[in-house]
Structure formats: structure tokens, C-alpha cells
Amino acid sequence: MEPIVQISLDVTTIEEALEMAQVAVEAGVDWIEAGTPLLLGEGLHAVAALRKAYPNHPIVADLKTMDGGYLEAEMMAKAGATHVVVMGVAHQATIRAVVQAARDYNIRVMGDIMAAPDPVACARMLEGNGVDFIIVHTGFDERGEDPDRSPFDHLHDVVAAVSIPVQAVGGLTIAQASDMPAHGAPLVVIGAPLVIDKQEFKPSTNREQIKSILEQVVENVKRGGSGSVGHE
């Protein structure tokens, strides 16, 4: 697939999410993600607000579903999500339930392999159960205890093992994320607020800087990576 740039709105209020989404869309970002913190803070109302503001953009609901798969996917689809996330360590019945709901409501499923004992086997299992995308994800807490961990630990093996598109997330710098298409992962995720050289960029204080950084990311990703973005 052609490279895609996704902004992950890892904020806790609809107001913050809409503010960041506006900057990202102006910069040319393709997909908007209602991050897990946003869903915890505002629930499906955040998805509905994003859908109202951006009726033509794909919206990913990062539910990290572990159970109740059909209902969770159904709720987010009705709120306006086009993609939902199920965990690969969930029971396969849950994964199949999410996939079934996605088929019923014409949305797509992303399977997250975070914490899987065998990431490659998990990715293959997810593909076999009908998910549309694989997320190679190194968790926040995992990286907190072991800063050397990253999606690169498993990325290339997973890309080689599946035939569906792959996304890599967790601990990547903006420059590394921008280069993901060159590693076989065309779904590029940039988390927001942005952090570069340990400086946090938020729309309320850094709107034009954020827009400029995201424009660089979009340009780099669309030409296949290997450009210079940020300073990390």
C-alpha cells in the first residue's frame, strides 16, 4: 500500500484532540487516531467529535480490545471510527468477534502484537483470523523498564511473515517513524503531543512549529523515507 501518515492523539480531552487534529490535517496527515488516553478520558464522544470535524478522514479508535470484541467495535463504528484495534494476546474468539463486527459495519481491524510471547506467531494468527493490519508495538511501560527495547526487535521478522500492511509504534523518534516505509511498514504513526530533544510541543504554544514538523514528516513519508525530520 502507499505510505500513510497517522497522527495519534494521545491527549485526554476532546478540546485538546480537536486542536491537535486541526494542525495535523492542515499539515497533510492522512489518518486520525483517537489514542487510548483520549478514549479513556472521553470515550466514544471523542470519536464522534472527530468524525463531525473531519467527515472524510479515516479515524482509528485505539481500543486495545481484550474482551467484548463485537460490542466495542460496534460502538466505535457507530460513533464514526473506520478502524479499531484488538490485542493479539486476546482470546482468538475476541479477535474473531472484532473482525465480524468490522465486516458488519464496514470498518477495518488493526491487530496489536504488544506483549505477545512470540510476535511472529501472533502476527500470523491475527492475519489468519482476518485482521487487516498488524501493529508491531513496544509498550510504554516495557520501554520504561528497558529503554533498549523497540519495534525494531521484531519488525523485520513480522513484515516477512505476513502479507497485510504493518505499522510500527512505541519509542520511535520522529525521524525513525518517518523512515518506516523503508522497513516495510507503510503505516507511519506520529504521537501527539510531539516530543523532540526532550522538548514537548503542544498546539497551544507551538502551533506553527508542530505544523512545520508534521509537514516535513508527510513529505518524507510520501517520498519513501530517508529524509531529515526533527533532531532525534
Whether the CA torsion 163, 164, 170, 172 is positive or negative: it is positive
- Model confidence at 32: pLDDT above 50: yes
Q: Give the per-residue pLDDT at 123.
A: 98
Rounded average pLDDT over 185-211? 89
Residue pLDDT, tens place only, 161-196: 999 999 999 999 999 999 999 999 999 999 988 987
Of 22, 31, 39, nearest to 56 (Cα)? 31
For domain 4-222, the CATH superfamily is Aldolase class I (3.20.20.70)
Please report, for residues 119, 129, 142, 171, 200, the alpha-carbon distance to residue 138 in angstroms, rounded to integers and kept in the order given: 11, 22, 7, 7, 21
pLDDT attached to residue 232: 42
Q: Does the pLDDT at position 40 exceed 60?
A: yes
Query: Rg (Cα) of the chain, in Å, rounded?
Result: 16
How would residue 130 be classed by pLDDT, with cut points 50, 70 and 90?
very high
Q: What is the pLDDT of residue 199?
A: 82
- Where does the pLDDT of residue 204 fall: very low under 50, low under 70, confident under 90, or very high at 90 and above? confident
Which is nearest to 115 in space by CA: 137, 148, 147, 84?
Answer: 137
Average pLDDT over residues 200-228: 86
Q: Can you tell me the distance from the alpha carbon of 154 to that of 141, in angstroms, rounded to the nearest whole number? A: 18
Is the pLDDT assigned to residue 227 strictly greater than 60?
no
Query: Considering only 55-59, 127-131, 220-224, which range has the smallest mean pLDDT?
Result: 220-224
Average pLDDT, integer, range 63-77: 98
The Cα–Cα gap between 77 and 14 comes to 18
135 has a pLDDT exceeding 90:
yes
Confidence grade of residue 226 (pLDDT, cut at 50, 70, 90): low
CA 202 – CA 19 distance, rounded (Å): 9
In order of 24, 60, 225, 226, 228, the CA distances from 213 in angstroms are 10, 22, 14, 15, 10
Within 10 angstroms of residue 126's Cβ, the number of other Cβ atoms is 29
Average pLDDT over residues 142-163: 97
pLDDT for residue 143 = 95
The set of residues, in sequence order, having a beta carbon less than 8 Å from that of 148 and lying 6+ positions away, is none
What does the buried/exposed string (b/e) look like for 45-71 if buried means 16 or more CB atoms within 10 Å of the residue's CB?
ebbbbbbeebeebbbbbbbbbeeebbe
Q: How many CA atoms lie within 13 A of 51 on its CB side?
A: 16
